[in-house]
Amino acid sequence: MGVQSEDAVVRGFEAGCNDFVRKPFHKEEVLARVRTQLRLRKALQTEVEVSRSQELLSRMLPTHILNRLKGGETGMISESHESVTILFSDICGFTTISGTYSNADVMCMLDEMFNAFDALTIKHGVYKVQTIGDAYFVAAGHDEETKYDHPQRVLAFAQDALRAIGKIMLPDGSAPLRIRVGMHTGPAYAGVLGTKGPRYCFFGDTVNIASRMEAHGFAGCPHAPHDRAARVSRSCTFG
């Protein structure tokens, strides 16, 4: 192969080529190269699929749980947490809203709200447990990252969620949405349930109290038991 041919090969690789053959073609060499390229393609596709699966799981499960699964842990994963902060929110008058507007309009409205809240979970480092209808359920304190400041994180999320909801309108644009927010801090159990679409779920009185705080609260402000609210307010800046 002369210098000119070598230059052509180099230019080909620089342009994105990943193989070459010399003329005259030799059948067995060409077939071997094709088989190699097919194996490389399959390996790349597998790597992409694994990466996508990992990304999907990272949206469904906390990092420390993923690390345990990657480490080969099998069976049910359950944990007991001494202190976590739980938050629930839901839309005021959602039943009426659902009966007034089309399903498509309600779905678009919910999607806008959930997307806004999802972005806030990333901003404040809190974990989105799940959505239930129009309700949004988050938690913090279950991992090392949020272990020491989970009430402050969840309260900051709540404040930003209330600001965000003021910019999300009813489907006809007549008024902004209004939400109730309830939160509570205390012990809880948590674990991964199921194998198809697994979720990291929380259980216990702390979860129940946070839910009741939301159900019996007023729109436009976070609600928590008095002792917990006083403790968090001393370490937060409200604005």
Q: Determine the residue type at 216.
A: H
Whole-number mean pLDDT of the chain? 86
Do 27 and 92 lie in one domain? The reply is no
The predicted pLDDT at position 72 comes to: 81
Q: Are strands 127-132 and 222-223 parallel, antiparallel or unpaired?
A: unpaired
pLDDT band at 2 (very low <50, low <70, confident <90, very high): very low
The tally of domains found in the chain comes to 2
Do 54 and 117 lie in one domain? The reply is no
Mean pLDDT along residues 143-162: 95
Do 53 and 81 lie in one domain? The reply is no
- Range name among 58-67, 128-137, 205-214 with the lowest pLDDT average: 58-67
* Cα–Cα–Cα angle for 72, 125, 54, rounded to 5 degrees: 35
Do 150 and 112 lie in one domain? The reply is yes
Q: How far apart are the first and last CA of the chain?
A: 73
Tell me the residue range of the domain where 18 lies.
1-60
CB-CB contact of 43 with 150 (8 Å): no
pLDDT band at 52 (very low <50, low <70, confident <90, very high): low
Is the confidence at residue 144, as pLDDT, over 70?
yes
* Tokens 């370490």 -> residue: 235
Do 90 and 18 lie in one domain? The reply is no
Q: Are strands 135-140 and 199-203 parallel, antiparallel or unpaired?
A: unpaired
Q: What are the two backbone dihedrals, phi and then psi, of residue 234, each rounded to the nearest 5 degrees?
A: -70, -20
Mean pLDDT along residues 49-55: 64
Do 138 and 222 lie in one domain? The reply is yes
Q: What digits encode the pLDDT tens for the residues 177-202?
A: 999 999 999 999 999 988 787 889 99
Is the confidence at residue 71, as pLDDT, over 60?
yes
Q: Name which residue leads in pLDDT, 70 or 84.
A: 84
Cis ω on the peptide bond leading into residue 24 (within 30° of 0)? yes
Q: What digits encode the pLDDT tens for the residues 102-139?
A: 999 999 999 999 999 999 999 999 999 999 999 999 99
Whichever domain contains 96, its CATH number is 3.30.70.1230
| 110 domain residue, yes or no | yes
Count CB neighbours of 228 within 10 A. 19
Q: Is the dihedral of CA 228, 125, 127, 134 positive or negative?
A: positive
CB-CB contact of 109 with 91 (8 Å): no
